[in-house]
Chain A
């Protein structure tokens, strides 16, 4: 939970608003008492306002002292504050009313004590509860807005990682060349780019799609990279016929293949080879789907390439998060450094075939 900076200060406006509401409420009580024949209106108003405003001052200032910034003191301290404020309001307010009306009998000897005390307690609790729930609602609103901002930020970061400007502009530069020199190839590359953009920008994040589609999207990306990297990139997609219909989250493997390119092959002068493979193996509770992304690149221990590229950790964390959302703890994600260089990332989770 984050601290909310604007609420850290003493909020003069909300404090004054509380005071005005309390004063209005006190006037209403005085009016009701006058109408029901409890006494002269000005005397009722003096008692009512006195009690109300003292209670408000004690509770609102106490609130600020006990829980600066966070609205209300938690638990019993909040209840105690309301009780103390109401009590102080009753004693001090009655004294104020007495001073106004010239009444001089001690508090405990009056006939009207129970009535005014009951009214004070009820009104104090009601107003405090009113303010309390409003503050709670506001806090909740702030938290929700913050959560929405966080979610939007995460989405933006994801999009930035996938639509890396460097990749896009380089792809466009290649396209620009091909348009003039090899229009047929330019068209094929454009088709891959369109499919890649559609998948990346598409709103189908929540639904699953068949593994065959997932591999097609990987092919789009790898084809784009193959035009750019030329002979430096070789790739292979191994998808057994029987697994084509298996449902997987869309673009689950995309960050892993991007990592293999960006952190594996791109830093190497000679390039390398990427293999994406789907298979099954028996697990404790039924068959497991095994997805592997393997490269012959620089390996996970290699220093990060030059500025701009997001780290490989972001991609891995993202895959892990999506798997956790779908499978709880019922999945594995392993990153293994190859003995002859390169990296292999393996994902396993329970196999679920689409009907």
Chain B
């Protein structure tokens, strides 16, 4: 049991519902201190990083960024060495998300929030916080794995239960079609060509896909191209054995990984054969490199 009072952040875009959850929490968990109540996903991430509360209540549908995307971004940006907060999703009705939460045993609340259900969730969260104190890293690892499970289930559009296209050994594609052995990438030499030069890059040459603003950067040894297809549309067309997701916005060719290192702040990163830059590894995907 931690000695200081646990602190919470509520992210809910409907003001009445945010106030109500705060009110209900005051009864169900008097010791919990709600340090911030925000109305959109981006603010939620910013405030969570600034305040580092122990418990997060994230509504799923929020303007700007959904609660799920916010959770993923937070996992990527959360400082190393700091315990990741206990996360509770809140939803009025999101069939697929609820199925994923059930499957992964991730905590969630249904709106309208009812006292008995909230009491059960609070008990679980308190247990989790106690377990985190007692078991440290292993406990957090398990929690992140569950969150990863939910995100991977829900991320590729249209995939609800087939599992992650990128999990090693799992199904490679949602609709049963074989993974594209050769992706006809439509690239443009980034430096100055503005799409004037398009080269068909064979997938075998690609070392890394990296989301960058409106584009996805396609990196080969010594070359860089841009495509407009979003990463999440790209995912089902790639072989999960070949490309590993190491960050919300980064897929790397597994066989090209050179070295995995921690920087001075404890963040995991990796380098690829044939590329000079260092790629940040999200704590969500750090489990892949545990043995190293």
Q: Which residues of A are interface residues toward B (Cβ below 8 A)?
A: 165-166, 168-170, 172-174, 176-178, 227-232, 266-269, 271, 305-308
Contact A170 B92 (CB under 8 A): yes
Provided the pairs A166-B92, A177-B19, A269-B40 are in contact, do residues A307 and B154 lie with their beta carbons within 8 angstroms? yes
Interface of B (DSSP majority class): loop
Cα distance, A172 to B113, chains bound together (Å): 10
Contact A173 B64 (CB under 8 A): no
Contact A306 B112 (CB under 8 A): no
Given contacts A169-B111, A306-B61, list 20 more A-B pairs with CB under 8 A: A166-B94, A169-B93, A170-B14, A170-B92, A170-B93, A172-B112, A173-B14, A177-B112, A178-B16, A228-B14, A229-B14, A232-B13, A266-B61, A267-B63, A269-B39, A269-B40, A269-B64, A306-B66, A308-B93, A308-B95
Which A residues touch B16, using CB under 8 A?
Answer: 174, 177-178, 227-228, 230
Q: Count residues of chain B with CB under 8 A from any CB of chain A.
A: 29
Interface flag for B217 (CB, 8 Å): no
Which B residues touch A307, using CB under 8 A?
Answer: 94, 96-97, 154, 157
Contact A174 B14 (CB under 8 A): yes
Provided the pairs A166-B93, A269-B39 are in contact, do residues A174 and B61 lie with their beta carbons within 8 angstroms? no
| Pairs across A and B, CB under 8 Å, 5 listed | A169-B111, A172-B112, A269-B40, A306-B61, A308-B93
- Shortest A210–chain B CB gap in Å is 33
Contact B66 A173 (CB under 8 A): no
Interface flag for B146 (CB, 8 Å): no
Provided the pairs A166-B61, A269-B63 are in contact, do residues A177 and B93 lie with their beta carbons within 8 angstroms? no
Which B residues touch A168, using CB under 8 A?
Answer: 93
- Shortest A264–chain B CB gap in Å is 11
Interface flag for B247 (CB, 8 Å): no
Q: Can you name the residue of chain B whose Cβ is closest to the Cβ of A309? A: B61
Which A residues touch B19, using CB under 8 A?
Answer: 177
Q: Can you name the residue of chain A whose Cβ is closest to the Cβ of B24? A: A177
Contact A173 B111 (CB under 8 A): yes
Cα distance, A271 to B96, chains bound together (Å): 26
Which A residues touch B266, using CB under 8 A?
Answer: none
- Shortest B108–chain A CB gap in Å is 14
